[in-house]
Amino acid sequence: MLNRLMSATAALALTLSLAPAQAQTMDWDAVVAAAQEEGEVTWFVWYFEDRFREFTKAFTEEYGIEVRIPDGDHIANIDKMIAEAGRETGDIDVLAYGFDQLPNINPELFIALDGLPADEGRVATVAGIEGGAVAVAYWGNQTGIAYDPAKIADEDLPQTPEDFAAFWTSNPGQFGFNYENGGSGPSFYMSVLRAVSDVDFSESDDSAERIAALQGGIDFFNEHADDYVITASNADSITRLSDGEFTMVAAWEDHLAGLQVNGEVRDEIRFYIPEMGMFGGGNAVSIPANAPNANAALVFVDWLTSPEVQSRFNVEFGTAPMNLAADDSAALVSMEMRERQTAWPMRPFRDAVEAHFIDAVILER
């Protein structure tokens, strides 16, 4: 009797412990079946559209669901999603965007992603910004300095604002960064401002006092204005570095890696994160509330954020994987160096710093 009671108790316990997982698996199977019934998913992503069209063929082979990727612009895609939020059925199944844009978007425009199968490795918080129930990261990126090793030795790479100033003075016109059309330059100058000024960049407060406290950093850039070059964009910086015009430029790790894989930038160009730290973050995907193929969108997001796909992203695009179970051995920087990553400043402080830098430094050149 005792044995039968123990067996029954154990069976009940086992049943209870398995129940959620089984239920979830069954639910997920139903989602996949419904997704396959829908047959297609439209992913709005604003970069590498051609390469993603190739890359997502693996998804189509695995699930039989076609992936459509229209060409688009980052903000234009977000604007489109917001503009058509009033429609019962929109055009976007999955929207990609920079994690830093999330605070600007009403989360009610997205569906909750709690229908995804459990995956503890999936990342929903990047650089201090929480995706909550509506956003998960699929793309990890890092800003830093791309350099030409034929012109500067690793041991001479600047690590602090003082080092950069010394490099600028002894190598005028050999360092470039942008202030618009990409975030690598803003990451560089804001990292310097943060290192030089005694201001907490993790606070979102954009009061005039906090902006005024950046004056030391503003003076730093103005004193050396003749020795560095302002470029037109992220791409312009890297192109001119590869072309031999510069020794160092501010850059994105994944951007550089992607261009090198494509053969558009010399393989010799290398990348590092200075000891003063530079900002890193990632891109998120969400599913609009009026997505025409919501089940296919869920299956696609699950596939996109899986360890296998994130490991392939690392190899093919040089991204920092956004699944803890993924392999990141193909990255341009070591895990040790990646510890120098700092979080992007919170908005609206970040916007105020950018506007102030343009007024006080760029327009004064």
Partner 1 sequence: MTLGRAAYILMLLSPGIGLIVVFIGAVVYIAVAQSFGYYNLIGESGFSWSFWIEGIDRKSYLRAVRYSLYVGLTSAFLSVALAYPLALWLRKPFPGSMTISAILKAPLLVHGIVAAFLFLNVISYHGILNQMMVWLGIFDEPRRLQNDEHAIGLIFLQVWKNMPFALLLLTGAVQAISDDVLNAAQDLGAGAWQRFLTVIAPLTVSAMQASLIIIFIGALADFTFQTTIGPTNERSLAQYMTFMKDRGRWNDAAVVGVTLMALSLAGSVLLAVVSRLAFRGRRK
Residue 212 identity (one-letter amino acid):
A
**Which is it for the CA torsion 103, 109, 114, 118, positive or negative?**
negative
Of the candidates 6, 12, 75, 212, which one interacts with partner 1 according to CB under 8 A?
Answer: 75
Q: Is 358 in the site for partner 1 (CB under 8 A)?
A: yes
Scanning 26-34, 114-122, 230-238, 282-290 for contacts with partner 1 by CB under 8 A, the matching segment is 230-238
CA distances from 215 to 169, 204, 259, 352 (A): 21, 18, 36, 14
Min dist. Cβ of residue 79 to partner 1 (A): 8
Q: What is the CA radius of gyration of the chain?
A: 23
Q: Nearer to partner 1 by C-beta: 139 or 179?
A: 179
Of the candidates 244, 308, 334, 339, which one interacts with partner 1 according to CB under 8 A?
Answer: 244
Scanning 198-206, 229-237, 258-266, 318-326 for contacts with partner 1 by CB under 8 A, the matching segment is 229-237
The answer to whether 137 touches 305, Cβ cutoff 8 Å, is: yes
Min dist. Cβ of residue 176 to partner 1 (A): 10
Q: Is 245 in the site for partner 1 (CB under 8 A)?
A: yes
Distance of CA 50 to the CA centre of its chain: 19
Element (H, E) at 342: strand 341-343
Min dist. Cβ of residue 348 to partner 1 (A): 9
Q: Is 150 in the site for partner 1 (CB under 8 A)?
A: no
Q: Is 215 in the site for partner 1 (CB under 8 A)?
A: no
**Cα separation of the two ends of the chain:** 90
Q: Is 252 in the site for partner 1 (CB under 8 A)?
A: no
Q: Is 223 in the site for partner 1 (CB under 8 A)?
A: no
Length of the chain: 365
Q: Is 27 in the site for partner 1 (CB under 8 A)?
A: no
How many amino acids of this chain bind partner 1 (CB under 8 A)? 25
Q: Is 104 in the site for partner 1 (CB under 8 A)?
A: yes
**Residues whose CB falls within 8 Å of the CB of residue 6, separated by 6 or more in sequence, listed in order:** none
Q: Nearer to partner 1 by C-beta: 243 or 268?
A: 243
Min dist. Cβ of residue 15 to partner 1 (A): 49
CA atoms within 13 A on the CB side of 35: 29
DSSP code per residue over 109-163: GB---TTSPP-TTB--EETTEE-TTT-EEEEEEEEEEEE-TTTS-GGG---SHHH
Of the candidates 49, 119, 180, 227, which one interacts with partner 1 according to CB under 8 A?
Answer: 180
Instruction: Write out the residues near partner 1 by the rule CB under 8 A.
Output: 75, 82, 104, 106, 173, 178-181, 229-233, 240, 243-245, 351, 355, 358-359, 362-363, 365
